[in-house]
Structure formats: C-alpha cells, structure tokens
Structure 1
Amino acid sequence: MKKILVLGGTGFVGAHVCEKLVRDGWHVTVPTRRRNNARHLLHLPPLTVLELDVHDEQSLTQAVVGHEAVVNLVAILHGTEATFQRVHVALPQKLSRACLAGGVKQVVHVSALGANAEQQEAAPSMYLRSKSQGEAVLRQAASGGVAGVGAGTGFELTCLRPSVIFGAGDQFLNLFAQLQKVFPIMPLAGAQARFQPVWVEDVASAVVRCVSPVSPGLSAHRPAVFELGGPEVFTLKQLVELSGQLSGIAGGRGRWVVGLPDWMGRLQARLMSLAPGEPLMSVDNLDSMKADNVTTDQCPGLAELGITSTALQPIAQNYLSNRNPEHGLTGLRMKARHR
C-alpha cells in the first residue's frame, strides 16, 4: 500500500485531507506532539499516528523514511517575524533535507494566495513573505537537492495556494457569526479587502489529485503551482454580512457592519493583538489584505486539476444556519476527539 506522511494532519484542513487520502488507497501517517490531538482521526483505517515534534529535524527525518509522498499543511496566521520564520521557512528547510535523505518522491506544500517564491520581499506582510520564502526553499530542493543531502536527486513538488478556506468548523465564517451574537454593531478593519473563498473539501481534493499519478494538469507544470479559489469574489465586509445573515442573526438580517478607515483599523488590530489567547486580527493580517486574496491568470487552478469549485453560500448556509460550527462530518470528528 502507498504510504504518505501528512504534517498538520490533525488540523481543520488536515482532517479532510487524511480522510480523502485513506479513501484513495493511501496509508496515512500523521505526526503530532500529542496523540490525543489526533483522536478524531483514529476511526480512519489505515492511519498511523506518530507522537513527535515535526520541528525536531532528527525525528522528522526518521518519520519520512518509507513514505512515497509528504504533505505539508503546517502554518500559522499570527506571530512575530521569528515565529513565522520558524514555521514557514525553517520547517520547509528541515522537511526538504528529510525528504531528500529519505528518498521521498513527491511533496505537496500548502502555501497561500499572495505568496511568490520569485519575489519574496515584494509581499506586503511577514506572513506572505515567510510563505514565499518557504516555497523558495522547497523549490530549490526539488530542482536540484540540497548540497550534501541527496544532491541532484530532488523530488516532485506541488505548491497549492488557496484563498481563505471555509467549511463546517472553520475559524472564519463561524468566527464572524459568533461575534455577531455578542456585538450589536460590527466595526471592521480591512472591510474592502477581496477574497475568493474556497471550500475545504475542494482543497483536500486538490491535495489528493496532486499525489495521483494520473491527475490532469500536473505534467505540464513542474514544479507545479496551483491557485485555489472558489467561483465567487467577496469583500471582507460582504463575507461578514453574509455570515450574520446565514446564521440567523437579527432575524436573518445580520448586524450592521461598519468599515473602519485604515488608521482606525490598525489601532483596532493592535488592541486585538494584545488580548490574551489567539488574536482575532493583527496588524500583519491587515498588511496581508493589502494584496487581493484572489486567483490570477498566471497559475492553473482547480479546473486544471479536474475539480469544479464549489459556491460558498449553499455550504455555509448548511452549517451556519444550524448555529453550530461543529455541524456535519467535521463535527462528528471533533466530538470524537473530546470524548
């Protein structure tokens, strides 16, 4: 049976990816710091959970041995420049060396719209610059290897750049819906930023297509870069309004969403970043939104992978109208994890 290692397999996107890979005939290995984090995946045979720290290069190198392919889904949205570098750049460096040493044939790296390995410093935020640098690291290893470690061998690399990802259990539409249950008015920074939301199931399908030997669209693009977006483009304000309407807030009208001027939005983001726990928004998020989060005509997309992109509203209405961000199959997984 084909074996694949999925970094970040316990997360929102990762759970969907693992399920589809298992259905496609792969034996999936998921590394995680704590085995308990993967309880919602244990119903998927054949799937193996490894308890290890993927940032430990020795452990990572041992983990990739015997796997034909690796998927990297590890990412963060908030942090300092040092933490972005650790997760988005240093980890791909370690992963590159591990894959070359272990003879891995394929690597699928989930990046982000706005990343550009060829123009790394042109990106407007720490997040996008680090994502660009991570792509560049992997591309170098794929094309010729790393000096002293499998030099000249390389591996097949596919980079996927999704727009914001939605689906039951997401931390995007669900978050805005929950906030509108608390606040009578929604002051919003970056209200006119443009997004092309893509369904988590479509992203997961794209990952599976990229490790399929007969997948359309891959042979003409090596290293392959695909931009993943849904069929519609929305402003952030429209998405916030839609989340309130679909979740039935104020009788289906949603809250009044007030776009903030840039200086006020940045002040709001700074205050939010000081709150305990994971911030809702940071100044770096606002910097990322200076670039439209939409697909371009410079890269192939879902259609070239044989996937028809799914519209947001019918899917979002299903889980938001239930007023339960854990609705559906993902909800069953999450409930299993907490038993």
Structure 2
Amino acid sequence: MQSILVLGGTGFVGTQVCRQLVRQGLSVTLPTRRGGNARHLQHLPGVTVLEMDVHDEAALARAAAGHDAMVNLIAILHGNAAAFDKAHVVLPQKLARVCQAQAIGKLVHVSALGANDARPGQAPSEYLRSKGRGEAVLHRAAAESALDLTVLRPSVIFGAQDQFLNLFARLQAVFPVMPLAGAHARFQPVWVDDVAAAIVCSLQRSVLRQASGGAVRVVEACGPDVYTLKELVQMAGQFSGANGGRGRPVIALPDALGRLQALLMEFAPGPTLMSRDNLDSMKVDNIATGLVPGLQALGISPAHLEPIAREYLRRA
C-alpha cells in the first residue's frame, strides 16, 4: 500500500493520522475545503493538499483515483437531523460508490462509541442514530463488494489539542463554579495517538473475511480507565492549576436544568459548546461494550489519561 486519501485529515485526529502515515513512508492526499486549514501539514513529505468539497461526489471520485485506501474522519457534533444525515450517512454512501468505481480496496471509517449499525434507530440521540446508519451503509457495501472495511468506534478522544479537557480547563480559568449537565455520564477516554495508531494499523493489516463479500472489522477504541463527566471536569481544573490547583466546584444539574442549560448554549453566540442532542447521547454510558474487539486486537496497549492530560493541561 502506497497512497492514502484522508478525509477530515486537517482536524484534531486527522493531523495525528497524517503524521503517523508519513512516518510509515506512505503518501497522503488531503482534501480540504480551504487550503489554509492544512498549512500545518503541508511541510510533511509525501502530503498533497487538494482544495475541494468532499461532498461533491464527482470531485471526490477524481481525487480518489489511483489511491490504495481511504480514511474517513469527517463528523459533526452539533446540528439538525439534515446536517447529521449529510455528514454521517450520505457521505458514507458516496464513499462506498467511489471506492467501488475507483477500485479502492480498503476503507477505515471512524464512527463513535454507542453507534449500532444493526439497530441505529434505538440510539438516544440523532448524532448516534446517524452514526449507526452510516455504519450500516458501509457494512452493506462491504458485503456486496470486495471492500476491506474497518470501523473504529472511539470514546471521547483526549490530547494536547483536544476541545474536551482543554475546554473545561479554560472555563475554570474564568468561572468560579461549574454547573454541569450530564455530570454522572460515564466515559472511557482514549488518547488521540492511540486512535491514529489504530487507523494506521488497520490500513496495514488484513482482517478476517466474511463468508462472502469484503472483509469487515469493528473495533471499540477506548482507554483503560472509566470516569464520570464530573470527574473529568474536576481533573481538568486541577491539572490546569485553576483555583490554586484545586479546580472549581462542580455542581451537577438535575435533568430539567441541564436541558435548559444545553438549550441556552445552543443559541449562545460563537461555537456551540453543548446541545440537547449531546445530552441525549450521554443517556447511554460511553464505555466499551466488550461485544467487539478493542485496541488490544490491533496490538495497541491504550494509554492512561491522567499522566498525559496532567502534562499538557499544566503547559496550557
């Protein structure tokens, strides 16, 4: 395998994926709507940046021609049903057709923990329902073709450039208390470098064949430790030195007040920090089910959150 098309490669996870692919001596093509978004990656050897709209199927097919594999990292956390459908369902449909038309034999698709391709309608949020429908599209494509498919389902992803722990650290630098919706929701955070390594590993190894059609592997990408959201917020404050290293008091909001907080944040100016759909996602614990393989099946021993987060939050 020589050339990889990486969709969503300029983002938090995609940046690490591109860097790891380059270290493996692979060439990377990076489509992006704005070329400036890839400025931090253009210096890497073997990286080619294409300024284009990945939702334009004809343009995507032209970009994919001649590549051995594709990685899809495109996702949104906030939006209405149509926006989720466009990003998480319609785009995978286009990817399946492009893979078939361009004879691309391998696809790594990053989904989300809690998505269910067999019963997507049972998920509690539009985010997770759309993720499940997108997985189902690709599973059908693999069953009907020679497509080699890996679906990664990560829990919340942490790392030096994350918009999760860093966000809670920044908020505690400003506010004296932290009223928190969904405080008791549980997560199994995974390090961004481990997710990137899982993607690279999935591109480089074969997977078990089904009775007919292509090969499919579903992997739950989770770290070794489980935390409540409240515990993660407290750690973010402590590690970043807020309130003399004690962090701010975290007040768990009852459901009704939590939904009101999320509603207000949906309509607040600037980037959306929390939505009602996010709260709906937290109705199910964001932890490994154990029903499918974890990172260990790819030869990856997932890193613990605390020593890594302590270091980058202290520096920030």
Does residue 290 (structure 1) correspond to residue 283 (structure 2)? The answer is yes
Q: TM-score of the superposition, structure 1-length normalised?
A: 0.91
What SS does the aligned partner of 1:255 have? coil
Question: Which of residues 199, 221, 226 is equivalent to 2:191?
Answer: 199
Which whole-Å CA distance do the structure 1 matches of 2:250 and 2:216 have between them? 42
Question: Which of residues 153, 174, 190 is equivalent to 2:182?
Answer: 190
Which whole-Å CA distance do the structure 2 matches of 1:133 and 1:45 have between them? 36
Does residue 162 (structure 1) correspond to residue 154 (structure 2)? The answer is yes
Provide the aligned C-alpha RMSD in A.
Answer: 1.0
> CA shift at 1:143, angstroms?
1.1
- The aligned counterpart of 1:254 is 247
- The aligned counterpart of 2:48 is 48
- 1:7-61 Cα offsets, whole Å, 9 max, x none, are 0000000000000011112110000011111000012101100110000111011
Moved over 2 A (4+): 218-222
- The aligned counterpart of 2:132 is 132
> In the comparison of the two structures, how many residue pairs are matched?
312
Which whole-Å CA distance do the structure 1 matches of 2:50 and 2:158 have between them? 28
Does residue 274 (structure 1) correspond to residue 274 (structure 2)? The answer is no
What SS does the aligned partner of 2:204 have? coil
- The aligned counterpart of 2:298 is 305
What SS does the aligned partner of 2:19 have? helix
CA contact (8 A) 2:208 2:216 kept: no
Summarize the alignment of residues 238-253 of structure 1 with structure 2, pairs less than 5 Å apart.
238-253=231-246
CA contact (8 A) 2:158 2:192 kept: yes
> CA shift at 1:220, angstroms?
6.7
What SS does the aligned partner of 1:211 have? helix
What SS does the aligned partner of 1:13 have? helix
- The aligned counterpart of 2:15 is 15
Which whole-Å CA distance do the structure 2 matches of 1:206 and 1:195 have between them? 19
> CA shift at 1:142, angstroms?
1.1
Structure 2 counterpart of 1:226, one-letter code: V
Which whole-Å CA distance do the structure 2 matches of 1:251 and 1:303 have between them? 38
Does residue 219 (structure 1) correspond to residue 211 (structure 2)? The answer is no
Q: TM-score of the superposition, structure 2-length normalised?
A: 0.97
- The aligned counterpart of 2:141 is 141
- The aligned counterpart of 1:113 is 113
Which whole-Å CA distance do the structure 2 matches of 1:71 and 1:291 have between them? 27
- 1:215-234 Cα offsets, whole Å, 9 max, x none, are xxx33784110001101000
- 1:53-92 Cα offsets, whole Å, 9 max, x none, are 0001110111111011000000000000010001001111
Summarize the alignment of residues 77-96 of structure 1 with structure 2, pairs less than 5 Å apart.
77-96=77-96
What SS does the aligned partner of 2:223 have? coil
Structure 2 counterpart of 1:273, one-letter code: E
Summarize the alignment of residues 21-60 of structure 1 with structure 2, pairs less than 5 Å apart.
21-60=21-60
Structure 2 counterpart of 1:139, one-letter code: H
Which sections of structure 1, spanning at least 5 residues, go unmatched?
Answer: 145-152, 325-339
- The aligned counterpart of 1:122 is 122
Which whole-Å CA distance do the structure 2 matches of 1:278 and 1:26 have between them? 35
